Structures are given as C-alpha cells and as structure tokens.
C-alpha cells in the first residue's frame, strides 16, 4: 500500500480523479466500483468534468456501486443508488447496459448479491475500486468482525453505522442491513483507492495505519492489498507521526 497526504481536499480529489481517468484510458472496456458518501463527492465532480473535457471515450466502460442500504428505494436522495445516479451516471449519461447497482428493495436479497457477483465476472473483474472509510473502519458495509472471505453479501449494520448513516437522510430512517461487495472483491480488485478527508477521520486513519491488520478495523486490510493507495488530506492525517510517514 502506498499512502499520500495532500495539503487540501481539492488536491486529493484532483489526484484521485486523474487516477480514475487513467484507469479508463488504460482499459476502455474495464470496470470501476464506486463508493458513495461525503468523501468522494469532489473527486467525482472533477472526474466527470475532466472526463468530458478531455473527451475520453468511456462508451464501453462499466460501473458498479459498492453498497446500498436495504429498504431504501432508488428515489430516496439518501440512498447510494440516487447518489451515483446524480453525481456520476446521469452527468456522464452512462447507458443502462454499462452499469449495475444493488437494489435495496429487492425481494430476494441473496439473489441480488449473486447477480452482482455474476455481473462482475461478466465484466472481467474490477479494475479499480474506490472506497471510503467508515467511522468504525468499515469498507463498504464490511463491518468490524465480519467475514473477509466473502463476495457480495447481506450485511448486518453495527450501531455506529446505523447512527452515522442518518446524516444522508432528511428524516430518521431505519438502517439495519446493507448490501455490499465483500472483501474478496476488494482483494481481487486490480487497484484500490481508499480516500479519507476531514478531522473526524483522523482517529480511524491512525488506527488503520498502526493497529494490527485484523477485522477489528476492516480498513487495516488495505495494507495487505498489492496495489492500493490510501489518499488523505492533512486533517485526516493529523494523528500520524513521522514513523508512519
Ligand atoms: C458509508 C458507506 C461507505 C462509505 C463510508 C464513509 O456508510 N457504506 O461506502 O465509504 O460509510 O462515508 P463518508 O464518506 O460519508 O464518511
């Protein structure tokens, strides 16, 4: 794992956006997995605008969503589906056949996970996975003490995730389960970008870098990935010392 600290969030987002564009240039038929949340917003804005400005051909490129809250319809602005539509898929006018997102209202959630796994296989595996980090160190909805040896699955959400997740919703919302890509997908992904910004992430970033690698803090698993970047702004890196650097 390589980690880099940027002075401001804007520089982090700029680096990440260029990296995503490079992924498409080097494999125009490839597959990118996108996280949602506050962290990657600016990265996605720059990614979308630069991809268009630079006239990169993404007409055969594919996108999938990392996770989704169970019980949340596509029309709910707090959901992951809505976020990716609004910030990436609609602005880029990505064709339906070129993306696949979890349906949080699926009648059969097990089949929903198998369908996602199947889609990833069909698109020859994930070239680039963009992930954030939860306040408890989760990746997607891979919560502390979950099984890292899984592809997509239905996850029970921890109390922290249920509470922190309220920030995305206008009204108090029941959040108890999530659909998520598993850490098997994370390790199989040919490249990973993990992004963190803001002082509220400083403590979990210190633990991600200095705690033993274990499922107590799932994000520590990034240190085992062969081709991963951890990109931080100075606020998120505030509790790291020279030893870490
Ligand atoms: C959420 C999502 C993750 C996201 C993470 C961080 O619960 N399931 O995909 O990366 O937590 O979110 P944020 O960027 O808003 O801090």
The secondary structure of 30-59 as a DSSP string is -EEEE--SSTTHHHHHHHHHHHHHTT---T
Give the dihedral sign, CA 228/233/234/240. Answer: negative
pLDDT at 242 over 90: no
Structure confidence at residue 47 as a pLDDT band (50, 70, 90): very high
Q: What is the mean pLDDT of residues 65-76?
A: 97
> In angstroms, rounded to a whole number, what is the distance separating the alpha carbons of residues 46 and 55?
14
> In angstroms, rounded to a whole number, what is the distance separating the alpha carbons of residues 132 and 222?
11
pTM of the model: 0.96
Question: In this predicted model, what pLDDT tens digit does every residue of 163-192 receive, in sequence order?
Answer: 999 999 999 999 999 999 999 999 999 999
Q: What is the pLDDT of residue 7?
A: 96
H-run or E-run covering 115: helix 109-122
Residue 79 or 245, more confident:
79
Is the distance from the beta carbon of residue 38 to the nearest atom of ligand 1 less than 6 Å? yes
Ligand 1 atom index nearest CA of 165 = 7
Is the distance from the beta carbon of residue 165 to the nearest atom of ligand 1 less than 6 Å? yes
Q: What residues does 140 pair with on adjacent strands?
A: none
Is the distance from the beta carbon of residue 176 to the nearest atom of ligand 1 less than 6 Å? no
Q: What is the pLDDT of residue 245?
A: 62
User: What backbone torsions phi and psi does residue 155 show, to the nearest 5 degrees?
Assistant: -105, 140
Does residue 244 carry a catalytic annotation? no
Structure confidence at residue 244 as a pLDDT band (50, 70, 90): low
Catalytic residue, candidates 138, 185, 225, 233: 138
Q: Which residue's CA lies nearest to atom 9 of ligand 1?
A: 140
**CA neighbor of 220 nearest in space, from 169, 185, 170, 183:** 183
Q: What is the largest CA-CA distance in the chain?
A: 51
> In angstroms, rounded to a whole number, what is the distance separating the alpha carbons of residues 121 and 151?
11
Ligand 1 atom index nearest CA of 198 = 16
Q: What is the mean pLDDT of the chain?
A: 97
Pocket test for ligand 1, best of 9, 12, 16, 39 (most atoms within 8 A of CB): 39
Q: What is the mean pLDDT of residues 107-132?
A: 98
> In angstroms, rounded to a whole number, what is the distance separating the alpha carbons of residues 209 and 88?
30
Q: What is the mean pLDDT of residues 122-140?
A: 98
Structure confidence at residue 150 as a pLDDT band (50, 70, 90): very high
**Cα–Cα distances in Å, from 91 out to 45, 87, 108, 136?**
9, 7, 30, 32
Is the distance from the beta carbon of residue 181 to the nearest atom of ligand 1 less than 6 Å? no
Span from the CA of 79 to the centroid of ligand 1 (angstroms): 11
Span from the CA of 134 to the centroid of ligand 1 (angstroms): 5
Is the distance from the beta carbon of residue 37 to the nearest atom of ligand 1 less than 6 Å? yes
pLDDT at 243 over 80: no
> How does DSSP classify residue 16?
H
Q: What is the mean pLDDT of residues 74-101?
A: 98
Span from the CA of 235 to the centroid of ligand 1 (angstroms): 17
Q: What is the mean pLDDT of residues 83-108?
A: 98
Does residue 67 carry a catalytic annotation? yes
Does residue 127 carry a catalytic annotation? no
> In angstroms, rounded to a whole number, what is the distance separating the alpha carbons of residues 128 and 135?
23
Question: In this predicted model, what pLDDT tens digit does every residue of 55-66 receive, in sequence order?
Answer: 999 999 999 999
Q: What is the pLDDT of residue 241?
A: 82
């Amino acid at each position: 794992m390589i980690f880099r600290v940027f002075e401001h969030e804007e520089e982090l987002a700029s680096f990440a956006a260029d990296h995503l564009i490079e992924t498409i240039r080097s494999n125009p038929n490839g597959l990118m997995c996108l996280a949602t949340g506050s962290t990657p917003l600016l990265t996605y804005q720059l990614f979308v605008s630069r991809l268009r400005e630079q006239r990169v051909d993404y007409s055969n490129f594919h996108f999938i969503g990392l996770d989704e809250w169970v019980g949340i319809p596509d029309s709910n602005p707090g959901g992951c589906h809505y976020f990716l539509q609004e910030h990436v898929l609609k602005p880029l006018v990505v064709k339906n056949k070129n993306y696949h997102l979890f349906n949080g209202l699926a009648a059969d959630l097990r089949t929903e996970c198998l369908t996602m796994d199947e889609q990833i296989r069909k698109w020859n595996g994930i070239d680039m996975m963009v992930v954030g980090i939860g306040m408890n160190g989760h990746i997607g909805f891979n919560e502390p003490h979950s099984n890292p040896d899984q592809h997509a699955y239905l996850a029970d959400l921890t109390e922290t995730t249920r509470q922190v997740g309220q920030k995305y919703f206008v009204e108090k919302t029941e959040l108890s389960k999530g659909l998520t890509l598993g850490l098997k997908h994370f390790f199989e992904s040919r490249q990973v970008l993990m992004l963190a910004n803001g002082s509220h992430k400083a403590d979990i970033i210190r633990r991600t870098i200095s705690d033993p690698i274990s499922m107590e803090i799932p994000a520590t698993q990034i240190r085992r990935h062969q081709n991963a970047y951890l990109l931080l702004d100075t606020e998120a890196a505030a509790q790291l010392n020279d030893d870490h650097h």
